[in-house]
Structure 1
Amino acid sequence: MRVFVTGATGFLGSAVVRELIDAGHEVVGLARSDQAAASLKAAGAGVHRGSLDDLDSLRGGVTAADGVVHTAFTNISASTDFAASCRADVRAIEAMGEALEGSGRSFVVTSVTALLPPGRLGTEDTPVLEAQPRAASEERALSFAARGVRVSAVRLPPSVHGHGDRGFVPDLIGIAHARGVSAYVGDGSNRWPAVHRFDAAELFRLALEHAPAGARLHAADDEGVPFRDIAGVVGRHLGIPVTALSPEEADGHFAWLARFTSLDNPVSSELTRKRLGWHPVRPALIPDLEEGHYFAGHSGQA
């Protein structure tokens, strides 16, 4: 299968590219820079120049493909406008979905488990919180199932981890190192699901090959790691105290990341495993943290 991949040089997308090539697929990745193009060529993938904002380039990439995997999204950080990123994602999904309309081809989009109601175990069939900004991306994508597209949504947990992680966990470590304390909010019992990047990449491939139209899939190995356990590993490896914060103190300590540190988002992937035969085999989040590679370069680590 010739597969067009957005976000193909990112932390997750590069793992998806490798997974697809190893499975015998031909991959063409979206590249907005010479550096990205060179990285794709080095990985054995083809190059399609463009960006998420260039809708014509997206349509061109889709038209020449047998299937599409959409992993690109503007990273969440203090310097990004999350709502604007979500709107751009919807526009990109609409452009690609319309190009696929009536073709029966596979279209795998990236969603998030944080769309689910907090505080209880969410399943693939649990209704999402429509007020969440990224809910529009998932719902818009899945609407193409009724328009002749074999579309599916892979929901990612707050932590997609592994060597080279650029997400929330490295940011938590950086905050802890800078402030000299590893913190959690309240009693720290709120839970983050997690998955290793290579296990997540396998699920994207399985979805591309086998997922039925309209499927919602959960890329969760850990159903829910208590946040205080994450803080505990960080504190031990950095050699700093671990402490509880009140909700009022969280904003000052965690800054833009504060709204995620109290997230209680336990999720099940049981239906996904049964439907696609997905069996994560890489280290879970805490064992991956314990390996120590997340703390390289942080002076004062234990």
Structure 2
Amino acid sequence: MKVLILGATGFIGLPAAQALVRAGHIVYGLARTQAKAKLLAAEESTGDIDSNAWIPLISTLDVIIEVIGGGDLKTVGNTTFERVTKAAAELRPPGAPLLSYIYSSGMWVHGDSRTETVTDTTPISRSLELVTWRPALEQLVVRSTAVNGIVVRPALLYGRSASIFAALFKGASEGHVAWPGTPGGRYSVIHADDLADLYLRLAEKAHMIGGKIFDAANPNTESVDELLQKLVVISNAKGPYEYKKPENLFEEAIASTQLMRPYLANALLGWSTKKPGFVEGLENYYAAWLASST
């Protein structure tokens, strides 16, 4: 397959690119700098810093994976999807299979609840304020007739350079563990490598699963209290840990709980997570962050 990853050098995109390359696929990616393009080349992917370089590729691509992070995600997500569908209509040869488009959403569309378990097919009715725009874009993708649309909703990412948990680890390394939330919260999480394996499986079987939305998380949620307490011990920070009041919509999202129990990826793709859980492997994950941050 020929796969384009939009966001190929990011926390989600790079492991996905590595997984696809290892599986024998041809991978293209956009890079914001020459250094990032060089990184992709070292991973046997093709990188380009021209933001329009991917448009001509659409005539021969099999799959596009959108994992763009940072910035105005609402505008970027909608604009990118519009550009892809327009280019697909103009550039794909007559009779070509629909281009598969895998859009990366997130678990926060499920809202905040410490009592309600949610799955891939739970109706979305009360998304967190930070991402109220996302369900509409999800539906545009999966109901599209211009592309073969698929949506992935990753849980909170851990491993490697730690994603949003980098801020928590940084505070611990400086001697204090403080995090938005209140006691008793739980996290749905997924390791970056397990998520990369899911993107590989989705890409390879895209034409069998078009129109589906997949939650991506470990089968069991984890106690935030236990996470913070163990981090105090591992990092030698001054205890006890503290919860702080969220100061913005992003911190309100971090303080929320989603009790996710995904099933579609396992049922349709045979996918399951393999990495140790976040709290279980916290010592290794904290050490990996330390190594990546120096």
- Residue 157 (structure 1) shift: 0.8
SS in 2 for 1:151: strand
TM-fit CA distance, 1:238 = 2.2
Q: Tell me which amino acid in the other structure corresponds to 1:11.
A: F
Tell me, in whole angstroms, the C-alpha distance in 2 between the residues paired with 1:176 and 1:115.
Answer: 29
Alpha-carbon distance in structure 1 between the residues aligned to 2:31 and 2:177: 39
Give the secondary structure class of the aligned counterpart of 2:24.
Answer: coil
Which residue matches 1:251?
246
Aligned residue in 2 for 1:77:
none
- What SS does the corresponding residue of 1:38 show, helix, strand or coil? helix
Alignment of 1:3-152 (within 5 A): 3-51=3-51, 56-74=52-70, 84-101=72-89, 103-119=97-113, 120-128=116-124, 129=126, 132-144=132-144, 147-152=145-150
Shift of 1:185: 3.1
Aligned-partner Cα distance in 2 for 1:185–1:33: 36
Give the AA of the match of 2:260. V
| Shift in CA distance, 32/295, structure 1 to aligned 2, threshold 3 Å | closer
Structure 1 residues 241, 92: closer, same or farther in 2, change over 3 A?
same
Change (3 A) 1:186 1:41: closer
Which amino acid is 2:267 matched to? K
Equivalents in 2 of 1:231, 1:208: separation in Å?
A: 36
What do the CA deviations read for 1:263-301 (whole angstroms, capped 9, x no partner)?
11111112221111102112221123122415637xxxx
Q: Which residues in structure 2 correspond to 1:158-169 (within 5 Å)?
A: 158=156, 160-165=157-162, 167-169=163-165
Structure 1 residues 295, 27: CA separation in 2 closer, same or farther (over 3 Å shift)? closer
> What is the SS of the residue equivalent to 1:9?
coil
Query: RMSD value over aligned CA atoms?
Result: 2.5
Indicate conservation of the 8 Å contact 1:193/1:223, yes or no.
yes
Check whether the contact 2:5–2:17 (CA below 8 A) recurs between aligned residues. Answer: yes
> 1:196-252 CA distances to partner (integer Å, 9 max, x unpaired)?
11110010111111141111112101542121122112211222213454xxx5136
Aligned to 1:300: none
Deviates more, 1:228-237 or 1:100-109: 100-109
Residue 226 of structure 2: which of 225, 229, 233 is its match? 229
C-alpha distance in structure 2 between counterparts of 1:5 and 1:233, whole Å: 36
Superposition TM-score, scaled by structure 2 size: 0.84
Alignment correspondent of 1:263:
256
- Superposition deviation, residue 174 in structure 1: 2.1
Q: Tell me what 1:216 maps to.
A: 213
Task: For 1:288, give the aligned amino acid.
Answer: G
The one-character-per-residue Cα deviations of 1:147-191 (angstroms, maximum 9, x if unpaired) are 152211111112x111223x221111223445724456332x222
Structure 1 equivalent of residue 92 of structure 2: none
Q: CA deviation at 1:41?
A: 0.8
- Distance 1:87-1:184 versus aligned 2 partners, 3 A rule: closer
Superposed CA offset, 1:74-128 (max 9, x none): 1xxxxx5xxx332222111221133335742321111101101321211111122
Judged with a 3 Å threshold, the aligned counterparts in structure 2 of structure 1 residues 233 and 294 are, in CA distance, closer, same or farther, namely farther
> Normalising by structure 1, what TM-score?
0.82
Q: Is the 8 A contact 2:230 2:279 kept in 1?
A: yes
Mapped contact 1:184–1:227 kept (Cα < 8 A): no
The equivalent of 2:189 in structure 1 is 194
Instruction: Measure how far apart 1:256 and its partner are.
Output: 6.9
In structure 1, distance between residues paired with 2:80 and 2:20: 22
| CA distance 1:9–1:261, shift in 2 (3 Å) | closer
Change in CA separation of 1:148 and 1:258 when aligned onto 2, cut-off 3 Å: closer
Q: Distance in 2 between matches of 1:258 and 1:10?
A: 21
Q: What does 1:260-299 correspond to in 2, within 5 Å? A: 260-291=253-284, 292-294=286-288, 296=290
Aligned match for 2:200, one of 182, 190, 205:
205
